[in-house]
Chain A
Amino acid sequence: MIAKSQDNDNYLTHSRGISSWIFTLDHKRIGVMYLISVLVAFLLGGLFAMLIRVQLLAPTGLLFHKTEVLKDLVVYKPYNQIFTVHGAVMIFLVLIPGIPGALGNFVLPIMLGAKDVAFPRLNLWSYYFYVCGMLFALSSLVLGAVDTGWTFYTPYSVQTSTAVISVVFGAFLLGFSSIFTGLNFIVTMHKLRPRGMTWFRMPLFCWGLYATALIQILATPVLAITLLLLILERLFHLGIFDPAYGGSALLFQHFFWFYSHPAVYIMILPAMGIMSEVIATFSRREIFGYRFVAMSSIAIALIGFFVWGHHMFPNGQSAPANVIFSGLTVLVAIPSAIKVFNWLATLYKGSIDLKTPMLYALGFFFMFSIGGLTGLPLAILPTNFNAHDTYFVVAHFHYVMFGGALFMFIGGIHYWWPKITGRMYNESLGRLCCLLELLAFNLTFFPQFILGLHGMPRRSAVYSPEFQYLHVLSTIGAFIQMAAFLVIGAYLLHSLFRGKKAPANPWGGSTLEWRCSSPPPHDNFKETPTVGMPYDHHGLKWDEETEGFERKEKELVLHA
């Protein structure tokens, strides 16, 4: 059932006025609001990243100078503030809420043939919590930007005079945003699947969001209590994290990482879900080993709860604890690898279409593989002691979080852009910027592996002169990336006004969201679609008239 592109009644035109957006219960509008907010936050976090890279052009620091000298300790407070804001914004305002909030909210109900998520009002509250969390966190920029690092380790986070409570309370609110989104998605997938869509006929993006949601509801409350205790420690000196009062500073790290490690899986699992969708569509094939990919998402979510100690190997844990965490960390690489091999197998003998989203997906293979494989020397104890708190770690997590998760977020935005906006962007520019991004990303971060192994510590505003050439390469890469992102933003914005109107199915996708018009109508479907196998591309043919794909033959329809 294809709506003509001249049909004007869609979710964007359904009602007008700012209050119809502020008080909307429509998951699509909430998704759009999240998308805009997350991209604004990304711009801010990116700006701070550029400041870091400029600082590190010179061994003595190009921008920021030391602010205090305490005994023998030289402190570069402005630099500490910059990298703290960069990390906190990117993690809490971009990567954690990003894909679930912006793309998940929009696509999930449509993929399930549903009218909305299970709890639309809770969804709206989730967004409000996001905005309030963002405001509290950013208010610290005027009240005294925090300089503890995004990890807020005690005792410094208790002693520093910066606005820790603002940021931490902001993160506390953002946690609720995350919990409510996760809760909503779980109930939606349990209860609002259509007739015929059993669990193993659900698209893999949904499985990715489901595994993510499990982590969101189980891990985030622990962050909430950790941050609350940190606030109480600052206000009343509870003593729980202070050895002088009988507490333990290491206890904070355990609490913090119990959430923050699963949090990295919140960031990557939805991105892997998008991978499955894009690979399937642009190979014109079903995903090889669908069940393995689905169960791997769950396995990553579960095992990911038991490895938090790998962030703390040299910090005073017992040796048996170190060994156990190390072993489990190596284990968690296995389901990730299973997915990568299944995606590769999907490409084999597929009918590959190198559109922009597919280029991002192909890039993911390289970025995530490098990032994941460099996690292994960090998981293994002897090599970890060499690499801990060096630039090796920084490079590792940027490869997985930026090269992996964020790139697939951008890829997903490109994939669903016609559906969300009803417009096509410039395909040539899309492909060019993707390639530029990939090259520039590697230029930025690959040298950092070398820096780390040669001993450059992280969070350091100055460094030994022999590292300079690597830092210069890294900064050049960063500037090219910035340029590429600006061009991406420009052509996407341009498409909103001058882009070609999008057909319902520009890519030949087989999942349900490609059956409704682009943009979708307010209620998603004029009639509830019938459900088939999730990646059945049989019968989808390019139609010159609509310049999109149409289902010419009846697909295999299955009922429960």
Chain B
Amino acid sequence: MTQLTIPQSPHEHPEHLAHHFESLQQQYDSGKLGIWLFLTTEILMFSGLFCGYAVLRSLHPEIFLYAHRYLSVELGALNTVVLIFSSFTMAWGVRAAQLGQTKLLVRLLTITLVCAFVFLGVKFVEYKNKWEENLLPGKFYHPEEPPPGGEFLKLRGTDSQSVKNDKPADVKPQVTAGAVGERSTIAPAAIGPTGLSEPWLEGKHHGRQSWSGPEPDNVQLFFGIYFAMTGLHGVHVIGGMIVIAWLIGKARKGVFGPDHFAPVDFVGLYWHLVDLVWIFLFPLLYLIS
């Protein structure tokens, strides 16, 4: 870090030193503490949702076990890889800024931004699919197909623990197999094996009830949590993208160097948090079984 010379007149001071700080070191340290505190608040905000997830999953494990199969693990994994890679390019970008490697910095920030676009694109594909399949939260939940390995027509088995609710039927019950029905008394058509192992179907490896196929009540709760968590995360990705775009603009003017790289550093920290949140979301939502 370059040393600060005592200013002779009010405006003789390092270019990037704000007036109320005594030295660049103090300014940098303050910014660092500030961004870490901000990240703490973000963690606390997301942890509210994670707590909600934990409570709902412990109250209704069957909903999560059933509904997560609607999600595409491949697309989720792709997004995970893309975000981790973008964190790598971001971190390298911070290093480039510290060393004054402006061209490299601009390239790395651009790659990070592109990765973020890819992430959003994949999310858009996923969301579009959910929209088309009516796999939406709350009262908008009207799937036409069961998830892979699941079945629709419910026959209350002896091991079922779901509570009968008074929700009025949104859709008229239909007779054909595979269609959505509410409390249908028609026996399900013969459906092939789910592909799940016998012990799993008998719930042996959980020690408590596991869901072996028929749709449980209140599946829309899963999608409520899914959209709340991935939606909030997506909003943070967009916010990060705006700031990274701003950084690219500044970087192209050659503003960053060994004496002034703090903005890149701090945005990098934020981006790593965004990545970290996704790394938790992915297994919790996609990899349940």
Contacts and interface: CB of A to CB of B under 8 A. Distances in A.
Contacts of B166: 244
A187 B30 contact: yes
A247 B221 contact: yes
A345 B273 CA distance: 48
Nearest to A180: B38
Nearest to B44: A221
A217 interface: yes
Nearest to A219: B44
Interface in B10-52: 18-21, 26, 29-30, 33-34, 37-38, 40-42, 44-49, 51-52
Given A120-B20, A222-B48, A229-B228, A245 B37 contact: no
Given A239-B218, A247-B56, A192 B30 contact: yes
Nearest to A119: B34
A171 B29 CA distance: 32
B34 A246 contact: no
Contacts of B205: none
Interface string B64-93: 000000000000000000000000000000
B116 to A, nearest CB: 22
A255 interface: yes
B138 A217 contact: no
Nearest to B51: A255
Given A115-B20, A192-B26, A246-B59, A225 B34 contact: no
A220 to B, nearest CB: 7
A191 B33 contact: yes
Contacts of B139: 236-237
A407 B157 CA distance: 63
A492 interface: no
B137 A237 contact: yes
A225 B48 contact: yes
A240 B37 contact: no
B269 to A, nearest CB: 14
B200 interface: no
Contact of A236 (B44, B51, B140): B140
Given A183-B34, A232-B224, A238 B138 contact: yes
B44 A255 contact: no
Contacts of A192: 20-21, 26, 30
Given A191-B29, A236-B224, A221 B41 contact: yes
Interface in A173-191: 179, 183-184, 186-187, 190-191
A226 B47 CA distance: 11
A240 B48 contact: no
A115 B26 CA distance: 13
B133 to A, nearest CB: 17
A239 B63 CA distance: 13
A67 B148 CA distance: 52
B232 interface: yes
Contacts of B218: 239, 245-246
A118 interface: yes
Given A225-B45, A248-B59, A187 B33 contact: yes
Contacts of B18: 120
Interface in A236-264: 236-240, 244-248, 251, 255
Contacts of A222: 44-45, 47-48
20 contacts: A190-B30, A218-B40, A218-B41, A221-B41, A221-B42, A221-B45, A225-B48, A225-B49, A236-B137, A238-B224, A239-B137, A239-B224, A240-B221, A240-B224, A240-B228, A245-B167, A246-B218, A247-B221, A248-B55, A255-B48
Interface of A: 114-120, 122, 179, 183-184, 186-187, 190-192, 217-222, 224-226, 228-229, 232, 236-240, 244-248, 251, 255
| 3 interchain residue pairs of minimum CB distance | A246-B218, A237-B138, A225-B48
Interface of B: 18-21, 26, 29-30, 33-34, 37-38, 40-42, 44-49, 51-52, 55-56, 59-60, 63, 136-140, 165-167, 217-218, 220-221, 224-225, 228, 232
Given A187-B37, A190-B30, A246-B221, 5 more contacts: A224-B48, A228-B228, A229-B49, A240-B221, A246-B218
